[in-house]
Amino acid sequence: MFIEKIRHVITEKCAFLIFFMTSLATIVRPLLIQQDVLFTYVGIVNSVAMGSVFFYLKYTTPKSWHPLLFVNVGILVLAPITFVSGGINSQFAYLFPIIPIFIALVSNAKYTWLTGLTVITVVIGLFLSVGVFPDYTFENVPQAKTKSRAVWLCLAVLMATKLGVEFNRIYGALGDQISKQAETDLLTGLNNRRSVMSFVQTAIDQAKQENSAMSVMMIDLDHFKTINDSHGHLAGDLCLKQVAQLIKQNVRNNSDLAGRFGGEEFIVVIKDIDKQTAHDIANNIRLSIEQASINLNNNLKLKVTATIGICVLKGEQLSSVEHCVDLADKALYQGKKEGRNRIVMS
């Protein structure tokens, strides 16, 4: 998700830049040099096309195919003006190697290679069109130079495609790592609070749409401060790590989520569930923590317990993320008051 947002922003920014440059060139170029009026007409059409793409990307929900839409429209915009301004000898032809690099930034290796091959096909078409379409620049370029430019332009596109694919591979790997780190609690390996809250919002939206129930569980270790005070914070960290794994093992499936909310407090979010099933899962978590022996580095074993507050809401009862968490939190503290090591439903 993190990487997809970056790709959409890059696509939107590039669309605006091309729209701005095309519009500016259409207005300023006739003031600086004499040119056929056809270029002005083509510039106006191109400005409208790129402006439409930009505003579409800006005001619609991001989709994975949006970069390809932008590139295809860009090629359709670039090709006509290149054909009528000398084909392979046109100054616009040297924009083609940029296209595969852009696709590499916002898409995958497969689409980068497809785009590169498409651009090479267009370049070959430009070369073959020399003498077929009228050249409104009226420049006389030797055939040998035209052939040389076509070969080098194809090589440039091929090299740009290869570099783009390699960059995409490195960029994707680093992006996945950054995204995972941004969503993961470094101590326990569970999802962190920010990513859990985002997941809760998604679960709420889905439950409202499907009129189904969802559950939020707040889990707090009992007397955890005593462990830190008696055995040190490293022992407390070991305890949190092992408890986190116990919680994770009892989460129902991949569609549900377990995370660390803060300190010794954990949170579990479960979709499409009834109260009894939620209670059973919470009890499995409570029992697994109670029955486990927490191993410390000095071979000392600790026994810990946990209190769990549960909120189960359905459809229109789901008002906000904060409301769900607050209800589960109040149930948790009610369990603390009642003696700990227990489950309380809100």
Task: Just list the catalytic residues.
Answer: 264
Whether 188 and 260 have beta carbons less than 8 Å apart is answered as: yes
**In 3D, which of 25, 140, 31 has the Cα closest to residue 81?**
25
Whether 232 and 342 have beta carbons less than 8 Å apart is answered as: no
- Does residue 299 sit in helix, strand or coil? coil
Q: How far apart are CA 271 and CA 251, in angstroms?
A: 11
Query: What is each CA distance from 166 to 70, 81, 93, 177, 183, in whole angstroms?
Result: 22, 31, 24, 17, 26
> Bridge-partner residues for 306, per DSSP?
221
Q: How far apart are CA 249 and CA 251, in angstroms?
A: 6
How many other C-beta atoms are found inside a 10 Å radius of the C-beta of residue 28? Answer: 10
Query: What is each CA distance from 94 to 131, 236, 290, in whole angstroms?
Result: 19, 62, 69
Phi, psi torsion values for 258, nearest 5 degrees: -120, 135
Query: What is each CA distance from 269 to 223, 253, 308, in whole angstroms?
Result: 24, 11, 13
Phi, psi torsion values for 44, nearest 5 degrees: -65, -45
Q: How far apart are CA 174 and CA 29, in angstroms?
A: 42
**In 3D, which of 46, 163, 22, 178 has the Cα closest to residue 103?**
163
Query: What is each CA distance from 185 to 86, 195, 196, 236, 258, in whole angstroms?
Result: 58, 10, 11, 15, 11
